[in-house]
Chain A
């Protein structure tokens, strides 16, 4: 029977011939948990086992409250260092980067089944892996057994064609889709991204798309492998859907006239063309996160910046997604450029995205972020308002102190 990418990977991992709707226990290739989810996963693991199933396949990065921002966080992190050492798992201490970026850079290969105790684990579909978020108890059980039950998801096929206009990028595409599909429009389903626009898109751009599959309720986002995947991962394994695969829905979009998009407070699917919110005054701009903290994202922001300065009225916080990203930006003097323009550049971590570490918004404040969620109370006060955008829109808006269309200044 012809298969989608999701059906192929789950069939291989469970050694059964599966189709959408089937339940199966499957062997996990990689299991990742971070500093906020791993402590509970370790507790769950300790209740049921003494030794992990395979230390090489367990990855624990500290990224959410990194470096520790409270004594309790420090204690949690101490617990994880001890666990990683005792069990000999792969471990990334504070400062190495966002868990999802580290997984892309160092671990994930096409065709793998990957679970992460973080909802944005779906990012790794950019490399042709089936990757999905789970909770801490599932993760604890996986630490012990290397297995987990899965329901094989139906797949929505999203075909994108057309060349993205100048100053419009992958983030605008995925925000457009979030607006079209809605916050629960892909619930329990996989999203396969395909078409000429995807073929031209970098791995970083594909990661931005797959990252936000969860914002439509999706179980994961997926992109078939090609030469770019091979080059990025060093793996020759090819994963693509069968031609006659069965999709629950097929959507086609031409992106050649796409406008820069904004998700307005307080839902990711509250998506508007930038013209509808232009001029909204800002207190803070955050450029970073597992959605848009990669080299390509920050380079685009630097290109928009040019020789200009960020507004004194705005706190501009820039956080590269990993040490590798940070180093590359430093080598090209991009970090120096951000610093000279007045930005606050932090060491690699999740940053203000989920409002626990630093850069929180106060009551009545307005933030623009390149991250993936603008839920009430997430990035600080429940009375703050957060807009989401691409790094290009964020950079232009940080210069002007209000939401600004980057196309206007450049023409």
Chain B
């Protein structure tokens, strides 16, 4: 799973209310429609500015707050290819894997990357190359079981493929 795109930068503690504000989140289950409001709590024009394949880079605790799965879903449907952050909130992390939004924890990334930098990302290897700055960063590897769910396109697809979802947890 490889991606290449330009960076949109955000700070620490980006909440799910910022990712998809309450006044939109539940009116429709059509994620392509909802995706037009992605990150609207912070940047009302975000959806219009991004190109297919662009990446979000953020600080610690990305996706904090509500458990709404609409948050990773709208990011995925907006055309953002993956989210790289210093850290994620627990529920957002789980939801992202479950809906097939690629995410990686990359220590120190917000200090190293500027908005607009062109990055290439290898999810399996956890390797990020900053093509603008000619630098390389290492992500915390995803546990194998989660990587497999992600590569299947999310938990529902994984279960359909495997007929169940128990894996070796030890």
Give chain A's interface residues, CB within 8 Å of chain B. Answer: 22-25, 35-37, 39-40, 43-44, 47-48, 64-65, 70, 72-73, 76, 116-119, 121, 133-138, 140-141, 144-145, 147, 149, 183-184, 187-188, 214, 217, 219, 267, 354-356, 360, 373, 375-380, 382
Q: A135-B67, A138-B95, A382-B44 are in contact. List 5 more A-B contacts (CB 8 A).
A: A73-B26, A76-B29, A214-B65, A217-B64, A376-B42
A-contact 0/1 string along B67-108, CB 8 Å cutoff:
111101000000000000001011100110011000000000
Whether B90 lies near A135 (C-beta < 8 A) is no
User: Do B61 and A375 touch across chains, with their CB atoms under 8 A apart?
Assistant: no
CA–CA, A379 and B142, complex, Å: 35
* CB within 8 Å for A217 and B61 given contacts A137-B98, A137-B99: yes
State whether A354 and B91 are in contact (beta carbons under 8 Å apart), knowing that A25-B166, A118-B67, A137-B99 are contacts in the complex. no
- Which residues of A sit under 8 angstroms from B49, Cβ to Cβ? none
User: CB within 8 A of B155: which of A36, A64, A141?
Assistant: A141
Contact of B61 among A36, A138, A187 (CB under 8 A): A187
Q: Contact check, B91 vs A119: say whether CB atoms are below 8 A apart.
A: yes
**Which residues from chain B contact A267 at a C-beta distance below 8 Å?**
13
Give the interface of B toward A (CB within 8 A). 12-13, 15, 17-18, 21-23, 25-29, 40-42, 44, 60-61, 64-70, 72, 87, 89-91, 94-95, 98-99, 143, 145, 154-156, 159-160, 164-167, 169-170
User: Which of B18, B42, B44 has the most CB atoms of chain A within a 10 A radius of its CB?
Assistant: B18
Minimum-distance CB pairs A-B, first 8: A135-B95, A355-B22, A377-B41, A184-B61, A137-B98, A23-B169, A378-B17, A135-B69
A140 proximity list for chain B (CB < 8 A): 156
Taking a contact as CB atoms under 8 Å apart, the answer to whether B164 and A145 are in contact is: yes
Are the C-beta atoms of B156 and A187 separated by less than 8 Å?
no
Cβ B23 vs Cβ A360 within 8 A:
yes
Residues in A whose Cβ lies below 8 Å from that of B169: 22-25, 149
Candidates A37, A144, A376; contact of B69 at CB < 8 Å: A37
Q: How far is the CB of B99 from chain A (nearest CB, A)?
A: 6
CB closest chain-A residue, reference B15: A375
Within 8 Å CB of B155, what residues of A? Answer: 44, 137-138, 141
Cβ–Cβ contact A354 & B61, under 8 A:
no
Residue on A nearest B28 in the bound complex, by CB: A72
Rounded to whole angstroms, the CA-CA distance of A243 and B17 in the bound complex is: 40
Of the A-B pairs whose beta carbons lie under 8 Å apart in the complex, a sample of 16, sorted by A's number, is A23-B169, A36-B26, A37-B67, A48-B159, A72-B28, A119-B65, A119-B67, A134-B67, A134-B95, A135-B68, A137-B155, A184-B13, A355-B21, A355-B23, A375-B41, A376-B15
* Given contact pairs A25-B169, A48-B156, A149-B169, A382 touches B68 in the complex (Cβ within 8 A): no
Q: A138, B27: Cβ atoms under 8 Å?
A: no
Complexed CA–CA distance, A188 and B94 (Å): 11
